[in-house]
Amino acid sequence: MMNSNIKLKPLITEKEIKQRVAALAEEIGTQFSGNTLMIVGLLNGSFIFLADLVRQLNSYHLHLIVDFMRITSYGSNTVTSGKPTLCQDVSINVKERHVLIVDDILDTGYTLEFVVNYLKALDPFSLSVCVLLDKSERRQIDIRADYVGFTVPDAFIVGYGLDCDGRFREMPDIAVLS
């Protein structure tokens, strides 16, 4: 059960998320229309966003392939170590494919920089990035996502796949933890 010292402040509603995910799917579905698109989700935080996004993409004329990578840069605390490491690699060929990286949140940028460089070296046909949330104030690296759901303030965010020490991933909406 909930610790009494943990407070959640609502930030983005389930309805707002749903509308924005549909709009992102339209952008992506139009951009890659007629092509095979390999989606590479970054575990664990992206799993709910990715699940909703691919179901919205089903309405577009695309051949989707879904795969995952796991990168670690956070321990059980909320401050990034700034040194991402690869824990789980993609399991299918990236070479000469249109690849779309899907992550929950772009914060300092260290994680996405690492993944972009890693996948670029595997020679994809194109490489783009989609994040649900962009905490742009916190950026340490010059990197931007091609598709962004929402720009969010510099606060610790949970829900809709994002956790704090394993908790709150299952919340259907997005909140700030304090």
Q: Please, what is the minimum distance in Å from the beta carbon of residue 73 to ligand 5GP?
A: 5
Q: Closer to ligand 5GP at the Cβ: 71 or 99?
A: 71
Q: Closer to Mg ion at the Cβ: 39 or 62?
A: 39
Q: Closer to ligand 5GP at the Cβ: 62 or 68?
A: 68
Tokens of 91: 């399991």
* CA angle, 26 then 104 then 5, to 5°: 135
Q: How many residues appear in the chain? A: 178
CA distance linking residue 112 with residue 17, whole number of Å: 22
Q: Closer to ligand 5GP at the Cβ: 106 or 129?
A: 106
Handedness of CA 28, 29, 34, 36 (dihedral sign): positive
Binds ligand 5GP by CB under 6 A, chosen from 12, 21, 50, 104: 104
Q: Please, what is the minimum distance in Å from the beta carbon of residue 49 to ligand 5GP?
A: 11
CA distance linking residue 122 with residue 153, whole number of Å: 34
Binding residues for ligand 5GP, total number by CB under 6 A = 22
Residue ranges in 17-56 that form contacts with ligand 5GP under rule CB under 6 A: 42, 45
Q: Name 40's Cβ contacts closer than 8 Å, sequence gap at least 6.
A: 67, 68, 69, 90, 94, 99, 100, 101, 102, 115, 119
Which of these segments, 59-67, 86-94, 107-115, 120-128, binds ligand 5GP (CB under 6 A)?
A: 107-115
Tell me if 159 contacts Mg ion by CB under 5 A: no
For residues 168 and 160, the answer to whether their CB atoms sit within 8 Å is: no
Q: Which residues lie near Mg ion (CB under 5 A)?
A: 45
Q: Which residues lie near ligand 5GP (CB under 6 A)?
A: 42, 45, 73-74, 80, 103-112, 135, 156-158, 162-164
Residues with a known catalytic role: 107
